[in-house]
Structure formats: structure tokens, C-alpha cells
């Protein structure tokens, strides 16, 4: 049976809460002298990384190892083979080696979906970030962090106001967060210059603002996204200085946030660009906590996908086949967040 | 002289009639033909072949495709002139225009004559080479358009298809220059800067999927410019694979001005939408990309009212490995020759938008006129060349690429039920397809 | 919450495929312990613990979810009554240590709560409702091993129904209840089920024999049926 985690939209509210609750228990293991569980003994998890991402890879590696899985790191970056051949042939190789799960990071949107539906492998596929599409485990660890600060263990994020600021257009973190946070009942506002918002964003289950200052006072969690330096030369905004002035978070802006509000960042931070050092090093900034929570969350995902004879979360992306006459997009988004059995 | 009698065929979808083919031409059309008709010397000798169309099959002029990629020379792993023309015959075509983006590029008289000769040798349908507008499709220097026009291939359609002639001056010169031999520039309308790295239609779906968008305006801005350029220099321009509702409006406006602008639409843009990209299955990756439902409906309407002149397949064969990969790495394009008529029946005829006479106009007569192709797209009448397709519109089948005559299998319709089947195709009186099979 | 796919109905603590209702349909379940019996039994066990642990100063009671946790809490209250000191009590989820994980869908985890002072050097008493194959206790011993090094580990159960598959025995038993494999034992506690009782029933029809696969993940199963069932 093939079960995968490709998109945050694959998770129903109950599934998402199950992952978060399970992650809470996993987090307690980190406090013990022996930070290891025998649960996935004999299982093989392959980290298949076509892009460099040391932090995501070691997070998955730590998660798998704490569950006693065998971990194989496969860095396919820089391969001389053409990308297409590389993905398929690599997949066939991993299948021959008996991978129970493949954690894949790929520069092309949809590559994990393709891996899960192509018939090249039988194991579970976990999307560790694909192109500018999704990064569902990042959204889960972000929700886990927000829940600890804003609503409490066992609860969803009903009514919490989350603001995501930055390069939404190219951000897989933003896409997954919008979907998951909406599933968990939060109100999401995206803030970016119009050039860094995707076409059709008005159909997403969130609000959009071009003005950061207008939303700060009604924000429970403020997530700053990294601005890639290569955007600089593509006329998305005039200068780095102007971007920082309009969309960067400094101490003055942070002071406008409600007292309980937290500042998040998926990392790595561009200090001085989207976030000042003063904010990044303040106690309200959860960056380091997010890293720790990442391991617990990924342990929960791996356990729930691999811990039994079949996964405990009913992910659907691999089987959902949209048709040409699909309903208007808003409806599609809503439908995709529901669990289908 | 060999004779063929087709009994009870609905000529252009009308009342059943008998059609007698004598040699390379239609000898007679009428009721109760015995085979003895057909002019002097036809003294009652019985026809060699009698086909019973059972009062249900439809007879149309052989189809003409303005936009086919035969891939030879250079990419014979995906298609050759022989396999491509076999696929064309199965699809009911008697003439195809072979696009210029081969290796080497068809930008000299030598290459177009080679393709033309390979077409002659194949014998399955006429191959009319398209010449490149610029050397190497690079958009910088005009190819020797006159030499290609004067060659044995008699090139009249010029296109850098696959690439847009985006330099306004080069486009203007090309439009002017081809007037000397009544040529036409067929523009692949794609503003290159607006489509850098583009993977699919820019819209709600691309935003969700995180795939770089190919906005409609990138097509429409070029069409608008080229319409104005063609009007300015008094030339004619043809728009390849028009794909958006906005492009339809521009062409409609140009025609209302009386300017000589023609346009084609592909079968896949009449049926499929960008929602299919949600599967990330590269078989749906094509250029221009699949658009929205609203675009599909606008294209159907424009084809029905004549704003869009014709259906062209943009038959683009690719080897399996170029589609058996992730979306971004996959090649763009779909095969289309063998399914075009079924898709047009499904989207235009069965929906009541177009009758069979209309199909004959959009898939045979008008493309032949645009391409200045003699002997094709002619009326069905005694004395005309016997380039014909006999199809069974009542047939229902599921598309199975394993049975394709094309060397490639990259169809988006695999497993889909489509109506209609080509029963027979005649090229100058010779059956190239009989009972759905190549002869 | 997510239901177990192999059995949409919540299971009971001893491996019956469904709640008492369905079992009662098959054959009426008979109460072998009522609320006063359970209270009396727990009081006796508490006294035994105090006696054998010489005052129970260093005792840590760890209940195995779900019903073992409530039993541990009740025992702790009774210990406090007897000794006048609060007794350390917590919970120990054994899901991640089960030996049959790959036979069933992945299960939700229950809470593990170790009292602040930890378990090193202390007398840990595992508390569960029904002792059956012994596999749950084996898993619990593994789990304990990863948490610390107790001075000793003992086991208290409300019911011992026999059919052990591992060399494990209970130190404190509320009631020894010889059963056949055709029978089911179901413990109900007020905190979880609204009443205190221990029911002895018959399995539903032959064709519906089940392994503990059909147990709700959120009431983590404690005992497995013997492998030959």
C-alpha cells in the first residue's frame, strides 16, 4: 500500500492534530537520557536530496535515527546525468535497495508527486520541499511551534491570526503553511509586494496585504520568509534597502506586535534583510525552537507513515486525479483539504 | 483504370450518396451509381472495389494539417517522415505541413527539398515543408526564404515554430519579403521574456502547484503586434496554435478590419485544461500550455464562427524517456494526428457547434488555402482530385497509444473514450487506409 | 479523532473486538467484579505495597494507558491515605516498544508522564488492568530501560486472566480469573467508561474472531491475544 506526504492539503484536521499530538510525545523523548526509540528498527529511510539543504536533511536524519531506522543519505546534486533520467534511475536504485521511505528534496515542483505516482518505487514518499510548491513538514513544525505558544497541546489554532511576510511567490513554506493553518482554523494573512505574490492568490484561503504595518497589531504569530538574493536581479523590487524598509522586521515593528505574539522564520535568516539582528536574537523569536521542533515533528511523520502495517494518516495526493471539468478553484482547494477515503 | 465505388456515404454529412472514384479523381457523385458512369470510355465496366458506407459514414475531403512535426531529419527516434505520414493517413490526412525545427533546421532549399522528397517516397500523404523564417530559428537573420520558395518543395509557409520571431524588425521584414511569392509567416506567439522558465498556464493552478506561469499576455501581446505589423505592411500573417480567449478577441478585431490574419487552434486546446497539470503528469505538458475552461469555450466558439480559420494538430512526437520524468525536465508537446478528427467531433460536432461541412472547411479547405496547397481542400465534386476521408462518426473507442502508427506515444488521451473513427483515406484515388488500417 | 481502520468501534482493554454492547449481543457478559469489589481489591493491593515496600517511600506508580493510568492514580491515593505522604504516580505509554507494530496500522501515542524525581534507584510499580500474554509488560520493561534504572520493578494488575506467552508474573493481583481463549475480559472504570466493573463475556460468533488489531489507538491496548488465536 502506497501512502505518502506530498502536500499539506493531504492532511485533514484530525490527521494534522494526530501528527502534532504525536510530535508532542516525540518531543519528550528528546528530554530523556536515551533519545532513541526502537520503533522503526529494520526500516530503511532514504534522504534523497537533489538540492542542498543541510538543515532539513539532518533534521530528517536525526528523526529517523531516533526511531532506530537505518538512514541512507543520497545527495544527487551535481550529477552529470540529465535531471529526468536521474530521478527515475535513482528511484529504481532505491527501490532495489529496499527503501521503506524516501524523503525527497527536489528543485522541480511536483517531483515528489511524480515519485509517488510513477510506479517507480513502493515505499512511502515524504516531500522535504519541491521547487516552489510545498514543504509540508515545515508547515507541521511551524504549526507545532505556534500551538505551543498560542493555544496549547491537543488544540488546533482556531481563530489565531498568522501573518506570513516575504517572497510568497517562490515560497514552498508559505504554500504549505497557508493550507495547513487554514485546516487548523487559523486566519492567515500574506504580506508581500505585489510582484512577489502568485497570480490567483486571491483564491487561496487567506487574506493578502501589501502593507506590513497595517497588520502587525492584529498578529499572533509573524513568520518572516527568506528573500533569496537572486530575486534582486529580476526586478521583483527596486533595491534591498527599499525592501527592508517596507517589508523587513526591526525592533520598532516588533514593538507593535501584541505582547504574546511570536516571531518565526524557517531559516536560514538574512540578518539585515528581512529581519534585523535585534529581532532575530530576541526571546520572541522562535527560530531555534523551530529547529528542535522539526525533529519531533518529522519523527511523528515517519512514525505515523511507517510505524505500522499501514499509515495512520490518510494522505490522498497520490490518488486524487483531477479532471478537466473540476470546479472553480476555491472549491477545489476546500475539497483537497478534506480527507477522502 | 482502377475504380472505387463508395455506396451510401453522407457527403459532407448530407444525405447518403454514391461516390465513384476513377483513377486519381472523383468521377461522379449521385444516387444509384453502378460504376459505369464517369465520362467517356467508362462503358459500364464494374469498379474494382466497392465500399459500403451503410448510409452512416461521412465523406470529407482529405484533411490538411498546417502544423506537424515530423522530426526528420535529426530526431528520428521520435518520428520520421514515413512514420509521421502513416500516422497522418490513419488520422484522415492527405497533406501535412512539416515544421522547420528539425536538425539541421529547415532553413535552406536543401533541407526543405530533402523533407519534400522523403514525403514523396512515403506515399501515405503529401508533405509540404515549412521553411524557417530565420537562420537556425535564432531570430536574427532571415533565412533564404526565396530560395526555399523557388525550390522543388515550393515552400509557401514560413515559421520559426517552437520559437517566436520576437524581434519586431525581423518580423516586419519577413512579412514584407514573403509577399513576393505569396508566402505567409506563421508566428509562434510567445514573448520570450514573459515566459522564461515557464512550465504551465499562469493562473490559479500554477500558483497552487508552484510551477512557473506562462501568462496569456505573452501570447496576446505578440499577436497584437503582429496583426498591426501585417496590416502596416499589407501582408498576411498566420497565428499558430492560438490558445487564449484574449487572442481570439484580437484576431476577431483584426478580421473586422479586413486585415489578412488567419489563425489555427489545436485539438488539445479545444478539450483539455490546466486542471490536468495537478497530476504533474508530463503528458499534459505542451507549448502553448493547456489553458482554462473559459479559454477552451472561447476557442470552440471562435472556431465555430470562423474567427479561428482552422484546426492544426501541432503533432509533436517525443520519445518515452522525454516524458517519463519529472514535470520540469519533460519535453513539451503531444502527438495529435491520429486523434484530431475524433477530438474535433467530440468538441465541435457532437456539441452542435459545427456540422460536417464546417469540419471539412476548418480541417481541409481553409488550411489548404492558407498554405496555398494545390489539389487539397477541394470541393467534393466530379473532376476534383480524389483526396478523401471516409469516417464512421458512430464509432466509440478508447484511445490506446500502443496501436498508434506514430513512432511516439505521448498522447494526453490514453484511456479516454473518444467518438468517431477514420474508416478509409484516399490520396489521389489510392486508399492509404482501409477499414481503419494502413494499406 | 482518527478511527482505526480495521475496526471502527473502540475496543476494550482486554482485546475484545468491541465494547461491551456488542459482546453482550453475542452472549451476555457477566460481571465478575463490581464497583465495591474493585475498591476493596485496590485497598488490599495498596496495603500489600506498603507492607512489601516497607513504607513505600521510594515507590513510583506507573500506569499503562489507558485504564492502568486510572488504576495507578487510585492506588496512589490509597497509598497516601495509608502512609500520609503523597505517592509518586505517572504513566508509561508502551506503543513505540510493541513487538507487533508491523502487524497493525500505526497507532496514536498515549502520554508518558514520569514524575519529576525520575525513576533511577526507585521501586517502580507498573500498573495495568488485565494481565494476559505478558507482551505489554515486556514492552513496558523495554521502555523503562530507556528512561532510567529503577532499583526494582514490580507489577500490579486488577485481573490476571492467564495465557501467558512470556515468563512474566504479577506481584500484586486483584483477582485471578481463569478464562478460556473464547472468553473476553473487559475492565470498565468510571474515569473512562462511566462505571466500575469487570465483565467476563464470550467472543461474538466464530466468524468474527479478532486479534487486538481492532483496538482504538487512543485507548492503547495493553494485552495481546496469544499468537495462536
If one counts every other C-beta atom within 10 angstroms of the C-beta of residue C10, the result is: 16
Residues 6+ positions from C162 with CB-CB distance below 8 Å: C132, C176, C177, C178, C179
Alpha-carbon Rg for chain B, nearest whole angstrom, is 21
Are B280 and A84 in contact (CB < 8 Å)?
no
Q: Are B261 and B236 in contact (CB under 8 A)?
A: yes
pLDDT of residue C103: 86
Cell 514584407 -> residue: B176
**Residues B96, B25: one domain?**
no
CA angle at A256 for the pair A254 and A262, rounded to the nearest 5° = 50
The stretch C11-32 carries a mean pLDDT of: 53
The string of pLDDT tens digits covering residues C38-49 is 999 999 999 999
The string of pLDDT tens digits covering residues A204-253 is 999 999 999 999 999 999 999 999 877 777 889 999 999 999 999 999 99
**Residues B21, B149: one domain?**
no
C-alpha cell at C175: 483477582
Instruction: List CB contacts (< 8 A) between A175 and chain B.
Output: 208, 210
From chain C residues 122-161, the ones with a CB under 8 A of any chain A CB are 142, 146-148
pLDDT of residue B44: 57
The pLDDT mean for chain C works out to 81
- Domain-located, residue B186: yes
pLDDT of residue A314: 60
Are A18 and C96 in contact (CB < 8 Å)?
no
Does residue A13 sit at the C interface (CB-CB below 8 Å)?
Answer: no
Q: Are B388 and B29 in contact (CB under 8 A)?
A: no
On the question of pLDDT at A162 being above 60, the answer is yes
**Residues B48, B142: one domain?**
no
Instruction: List CB contacts (< 8 A) between C120 and chain A.
Output: none
d(CA B44, CA C45): 116
Backbone angles phi, psi at C173, to 5 degrees: -125, 125
The CATH number of residue B273's host domain is: 3.20.20.140
B323 to chain A: nearest residue by CA?
Answer: A84
Name residue A46's beta-bridge partners. A72, A102
If one counts every other C-beta atom within 10 angstroms of the C-beta of residue A80, the result is: 5
Does residue A88 sit at the B interface (CB-CB below 8 Å)?
Answer: yes
For residue A249, what is the DSSP state?
Answer: B
Name residue A72's beta-bridge partners. A46
Closest among B258, B263, B104, B260 to B189, alpha carbons compared:
B263
Domain parsing of chain A, residue ranges: 8-134+293-328, 136-289
Closest among B366, B248, B362, B349 to B296, alpha carbons compared:
B248
End-to-end CA distance of chain C: 29
For chain A, give the percent of residues with pLDDT over 70.
Answer: 88
Number of domains in chain B: 2
The stretch C64-70 carries a mean pLDDT of: 95
Architecture of domain A8-134+293-328: 3-Layer(aba) Sandwich (3.40)
The stretch A101-126 carries a mean pLDDT of: 93
d(CA B247, CA B259): 15
d(CA A159, CA C151): 49
More confident residue, C110 or A228: C110
The stretch C164-174 carries a mean pLDDT of: 96
On the question of pLDDT at C105 being above 90, the answer is no
Closest among B26, B423, B22, B53 to B434, alpha carbons compared:
B423
Regarding chains B and C, contact by 3 or more CB pairs under 8 A is answered as no
Neighbour subunits, C (≥3 Cβ pairs < 8 A): A
Name residue A95's beta-bridge partners. none
Out of B328, B350, B370, pick the residue that ends a domain.
B370
pLDDT of residue B279: 96
Does residue B202 sit at the A interface (CB-CB below 8 Å)?
Answer: yes
Q: Extract the residue ranges of chain B whose pLDDT is less than 70.
A: 1, 36-45
On the question of pLDDT at C213 being above 60, the answer is no
Cell 489507538 -> residue: C217
Cell 502553448 -> residue: B288
Name residue B19's beta-bridge partners. B6, B29
**Residues B281, B312: one domain?**
yes
C-alpha cell at B52: 459500403
**DSSP H/E element including A130:** strand A124-130
- Residue B134 CB-half CA count within 13 A: 21
Q: Looking at the partner chain, which of A15, A32, A309 has a beta carbon nearest the beta carbon of C104?
A: A309
**DSSP H/E element including C172:** strand C172-176
pLDDT of residue A81: 46
The stretch A150-163 carries a mean pLDDT of: 94
pLDDT of residue A9: 94
pLDDT of residue B294: 98
Closest among B319, B246, B416, B270 to B78, alpha carbons compared:
B319
C-alpha cell at B371: 498554405
From chain A residues 132-161, the ones with a CB under 8 A of any chain B CB are 132-134
The CATH number of residue B52's host domain is: 2.30.40.10
Name residue B58's beta-bridge partners. B10, B391
Name residue A228's beta-bridge partners. none
More confident residue, A337 or A33: A33
Neighbour subunits, B (≥3 Cβ pairs < 8 A): A
Does residue A198 sit at the B interface (CB-CB below 8 Å)?
Answer: yes
- Domain-located, residue B377: no
**Residues B38, B161: one domain?**
no
CA angle at C55 for the pair C50 and C57, rounded to the nearest 5° = 115
For residue A135, what is the DSSP state?
Answer: -
Closest among B161, B140, B74, B147 to B112, alpha carbons compared:
B147
Exposed/middle/buried for B422, CB within 10 Å: 0-12, 13-18, 19+?
Answer: buried
pLDDT of residue A85: 56
C-alpha cell at A36: 532513541
CATH T-level fold of A136-289: Rossmann fold (3.40.50)
**Residues B72, B48: one domain?**
no
CA angle at B97 for the pair B92 and B102, rounded to the nearest 5° = 125
Neighbour subunits, A (≥3 Cβ pairs < 8 A): B, C
Domain span at residue B200? Answer: 63-370
User: Three-state secondary structure along chain B?
Assistant: CCEEEEEEEEECCCCEEEEEEECCEEEEEECCCCCCCCCCCCCCCCCCEEEECCCCCEEEECEEEEEECCCCCCCCCCCCHHHHHHHHHHCCEEEEEECCCCCCCCCCHHHHHHHHHHHHHHCCCEEEECECCEHHHCCCCECCHHHHHHCCCCCCEECCCCCCCCCHHHHHHHHHHHHHHCCEEEECCCCCHHHCCCCEECCHHHHHHCCCEECHHHHHHHHHHHHHHHHHHCCCEEECCCCCHHHHHHHHHHHHCCCCEEEEECCHHHCCCHHHHHHCCHHHCCCCCCCCHHHHHHHHHHHHHCCCCEECCCECCCCHHHCCCCHHHCCCCECCCCCHHHHHHHHHHCCCCCCHHHHHHHHHHHHHHHCCCCCCCCCCCCCCECCEEEEEEEEEEECCHHHCCCCCCCCCCCCCEEEEEEEEEEECCEEEEECCEEC
Out of B370, B402, B427, pick the residue that ends a domain.
B370
Q: Give CA separation, B242 vs A106, A153, B214, B338, C179, in Å.
A: 33, 55, 14, 21, 79
Strands C59-63 and C152-160: unpaired
Tell me the CATH number for domain C33-181. 3.40.50.2020
d(CA B190, CA A236): 22
If one counts every other C-beta atom within 10 angstroms of the C-beta of residue C125, the result is: 29
For chain A, give the percent of residues with pLDDT over 90.
Answer: 71
d(CA B286, CA B289): 5
Report if pTM > 0.80: yes
Q: Which strands, in side-by-side order, build the sheet including C172-176?
A: C88-91, C59-63, C123-131, C152-160, C172-176
pLDDT of residue A66: 96
CA A181 from centre of chain:
11
Instruction: List CB contacts (< 8 A) between C2 and chain A.
Output: 14-15, 18, 312-314
Name residue C88's beta-bridge partners. C60
Mark the binding-site residues of B for Zn(2+), compressed into ranges.
67, 69, 161, 188, 241, 314
3-state secondary structure at position C5: coil
Q: Are C17 and C7 in contact (CB under 8 A)?
A: yes
**Residues B26, B155: one domain?**
no
Domain parsing of chain C, residue ranges: 33-181
Respond yes or no: is residue A241 known to be catalytic. Answer: no
Q: Are B213 and B267 in contact (CB under 8 A)?
A: no
CA B100 from centre of chain:
14
The string of pLDDT tens digits covering residues B207-224 is 999 999 999 999 999 999
The string of pLDDT tens digits covering residues B120-159 is 999 899 999 999 999 999 999 999 999 999 999 999 999 9
Q: Are B81 and B115 in contact (CB under 8 A)?
A: yes
C-alpha cell at C216: 482504538
Instruction: List CB contacts (< 8 A) between A139 and chain B.
Output: none
Amino acid at each position: 500500500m502506497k501512502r505518502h506526504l506530498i502536500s499539506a492539503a493531504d492532511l485533514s484536521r484530525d490527521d494534522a492534530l494526530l501528527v502534532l499530538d504525536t510530535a508532542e510525545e516525540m518531543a519528550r523523548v528528546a528530554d530523556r537520557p536515551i533519545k532513541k526509540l526502537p520503533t522503526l528498527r529494520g526500516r530503511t529511510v532514504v534522504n534523497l536530496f537533489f538540492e542542498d539543504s543541510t538543515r532539513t536533511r539532518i533534521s530528517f536524519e536525526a528523526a529517523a535515527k531516533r526511531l532506530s531506522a537505518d538512514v541512507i543519505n543520497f545527495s544527487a546534486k551535481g550529477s552529470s546525468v540529465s535531471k529526468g533520467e536521474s530521478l527515475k534511475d535513482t528511484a529504481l536504485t532505491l527501490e532495489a535497495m529496499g527503501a521503506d521511505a524516501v524523503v525527497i528534496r527536489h528543485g522541480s515542483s511536483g517531483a515528489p508527486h511524480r515519485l509517488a505516482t510513477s510506479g517507480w518505487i513502493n515505499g512511502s514518499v515524504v516531500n522535504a520541499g519541491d521547487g516552489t510548491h510545498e514543504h509540508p513538514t515545515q508547515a507541521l513544525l511551524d504549526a507545532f511551534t505556534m500551538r505551543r505558544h498560542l493555544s496549547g497541546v491537543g488544540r488546533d489554532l482556531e481563530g489565531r491570526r498568522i501573518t506570513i511576510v516575504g517572497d510568497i511567490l517562490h515560497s514552498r513554506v508559505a504554500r504549505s503553511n497557508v493550507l495547513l493553518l487554514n485546516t487548523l482554523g487559523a486566519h492567515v494573512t500574506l504580506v508581500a509586494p505585489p510582484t512577489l505574490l502568485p497570480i490567483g492568490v486571491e483564491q487561496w484561503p487567506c487574506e493578502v496585504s501589501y502593507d506590513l504595518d497595517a497588520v502587525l497589531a492584529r498578529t499572533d504569530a509573524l513568520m518572516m520568509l527568506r528573500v533569496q538574493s537572486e530575486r534582486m536581479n529580476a526586478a521583483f523590487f527596486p533595491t534591498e534597502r527599499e525592501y527592508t524598509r517596507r517589508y523587513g522586521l526591526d525592533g520598532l515593528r516588533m514593538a507593535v506586535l501584541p505582547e504574546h505574539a511570536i516571531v518565526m522564520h524557517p531559516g536560514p535568516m538574512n540578518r539585515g534583510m528581512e529581519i534585523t539582528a535585534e529581532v532575530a536574537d530576541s526571546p520572541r523569536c522562535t527560530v531555534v525552537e523551530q529547529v528542535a521542533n522539526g525533529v519531533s515533528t518529522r519523527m511523528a511523520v515517519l512514525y505515523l507513515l511507517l510505524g505500522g502495517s499501514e499509515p495512520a494518516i490518510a494522505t490522498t495526493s497520490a490518488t486524487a486525479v483531477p479532471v478537466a471539468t473540476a470546479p472553480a478553484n476555491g472549491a477545489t482547494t476546500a475539497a483537497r483539504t478534506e480527507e477522502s477515503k | 483504370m482502377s475504380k472505387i465505388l463508395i455506396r451510401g456515404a453522407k457527403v459532407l454529412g448530407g444525405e447518403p450518396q454514391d461516390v465513384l472514384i476513377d483513377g486519381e479523381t472523383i468521377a461522379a457523385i449521385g444516387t444509384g451509381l453502378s460504376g459505369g458512369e464517369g465520362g467517356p470510355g467508362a462503358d459500364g465496366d464494374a469498379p474494382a472495389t466497392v465500399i459500403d458506407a451503410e448510409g452512416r459514414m461521412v465523406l470529407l475531403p482529405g484533411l490538411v494539417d498546417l502544423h506537424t512535426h515530423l522530426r526528420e531529419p535529426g530526431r528520428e527516434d521520435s518520428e520520421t517522415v514515413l512514420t509521421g505520414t502513416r500516422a497522418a493517413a490513419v488520422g484522415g490526412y492527405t497533406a501535412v505541413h512539416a515544421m522547420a525545427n528539425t536538425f539541421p533546421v529547415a532553413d535552406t532549399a536543401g533541407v526543405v527539398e530533402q523533407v519534400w522528397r522523403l514525403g514523396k517516397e512515403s506515399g501515405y500523404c503529401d508533405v509540404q515543408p515549412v521553411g524557417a523564417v530565420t537562420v537556425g530559428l535564432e531570430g536574427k537573420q532571415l533565412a533564404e526564404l526565396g530560395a526555399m520558395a523557388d525550390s522543388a518543395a515550393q515552400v509557401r509557409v514560413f515559421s520559426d515554430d517552437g520559437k517566436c520571431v520576437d524581434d519586431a524588425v525581423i518580423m516586419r521584414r519577413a512579412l514584407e519579403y514573403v509577399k513576393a511569392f505569396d508566402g505567409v509567416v506563421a508566428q509562434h506567439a510567445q514573448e520570450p521574456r514573459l515566459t522564461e522558465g515557464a512550465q504551465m498556464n499562469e493562473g490559479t493552478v500554477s500558483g497552487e502547484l508552484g510551477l512557473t506561469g506562462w501568462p496569456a499576455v505573452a501570447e496576446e501581446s505578440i499577436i497584437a503586434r503582429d496583426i498591426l505589423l501585417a496590416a502596416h505592411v499589407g501582408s498576411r500573417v498566420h497565428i499558430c496554435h492560438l490558445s487564449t480567449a484574449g487572442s481570439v478577441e484580437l484576431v476577431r478585431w483584426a478580421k473586422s478590419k479586413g486585415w489578412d490574419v488567419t489563425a489555427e487552434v489545436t485539438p488539445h486546446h479545444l478539450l483539455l485544461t490546466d486542471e490536468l497539470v495537478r497530476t504533474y503528469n508530463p503528458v499534459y505538458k505542451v507549448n502553448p500550455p493547456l489553458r482554462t475552461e473559459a479559454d477552451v469555450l472561447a476557442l470552440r466558439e471562435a472556431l465555430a464562427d470562423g474567427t479561428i480559420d482552422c484546426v492544426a494538430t501541432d503533432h509533436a512526437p517525443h520519445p518515452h524517456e522525454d516524458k517519463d520524468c519529472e514535470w520540469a525536465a519533460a519535453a513539451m508537446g503531444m502527438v495529435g494526428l491520429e486523434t484530431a478528427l475524433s477530438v474535433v467531433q467530440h468538441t465541435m460536432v457532437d456539441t452542435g457547434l459545427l456540422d460536417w461541412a464546417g469540419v471539412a472547411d476548418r480541417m481541409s479547405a481553409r488550411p489548404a488555402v492558407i498554405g496555398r496547397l494545390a489539389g487539397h481542400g477541394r470541393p467534393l465534386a466530379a473532376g476534383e482530385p480524389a483526396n478523401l476521408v471516409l469516417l464512421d462518426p458512430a464509432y466509440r473507442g478508447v484511445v490506446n497509444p500502443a496501436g498508434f502508427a506514430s513512432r511516439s506515444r505521448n498522447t494526453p488521451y490514453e484511456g479516454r473514450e473518444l467518438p468517431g473513427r477514420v474508416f478509409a483515406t484516399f490520396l489521389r484515388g489510392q486508399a492509404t487506409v482501409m477499414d481503419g488500417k494502413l494499406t | 479523532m482518527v478511527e482505526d481502520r480495521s475496526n471502527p468501534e473502540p475496543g476494550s482493554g482486554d482485546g475484545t473486538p468491541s465494547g461491551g454492547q456488542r459482546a453482550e449481543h453475542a452472549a451476555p457478559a457477566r460481571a465478575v467484579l463490581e464497583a465495591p469489589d474493585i475498591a476493596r481489591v485496590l485497598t488490599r493491593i495498596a496495603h500489600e505495597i506498603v507492607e512489601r515496600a516497607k513504607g513505600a517511600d521510594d515507590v513510583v506508580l506507573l500506569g499503562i494507558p489507558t485504564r492502568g493510568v486510572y488504576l495507578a492514580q487510585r492506588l496512589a491515593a490509597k497509598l497516601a491515605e495509608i502512609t500520609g505522604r503523597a505517592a509518586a504516580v505517572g504513566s508509561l505509554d508502551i506503543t513505540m516498544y510493541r513487538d507487533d507494530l508491523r502487524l497493525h496500522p500505526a497507532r496514536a501515542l498515549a502520554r508518558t508522564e514520569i514524575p519529576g524525581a525520575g525513576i533511577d534507584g526507585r521501586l517502580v510499580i507498573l500498573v495495568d488492568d488485565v494481565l494476559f500474554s505478558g507482551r505489554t509488560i515486556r514492552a513496558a520493561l523495554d521502555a523503562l530501560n530507556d528512561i532510567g534504572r529503577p532499583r526494582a520493578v514490580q507489577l500490579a494488575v486488577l485481573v490476571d486472566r492467564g495465557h501467558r506467552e512470556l515468563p512474566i508474573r504479577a506481584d500484586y493481583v486483584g483477582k485471578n480469573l481463569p478464562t478460556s481463549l473464547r472468553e473476553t475480559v473487559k475492565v470498565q472504570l468510571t474515569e473512562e467508561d462511566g462505571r466500575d466493573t469487570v465483565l467476563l463475556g464470550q467472543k461474538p460468533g466464530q466468524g468474527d474472531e479478532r486479534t487486538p488489531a481492532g483496538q482504538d489507538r487512543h485507548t492503547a491496548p495493553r494485552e495481546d491475544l496469544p499468537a495462536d488465536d
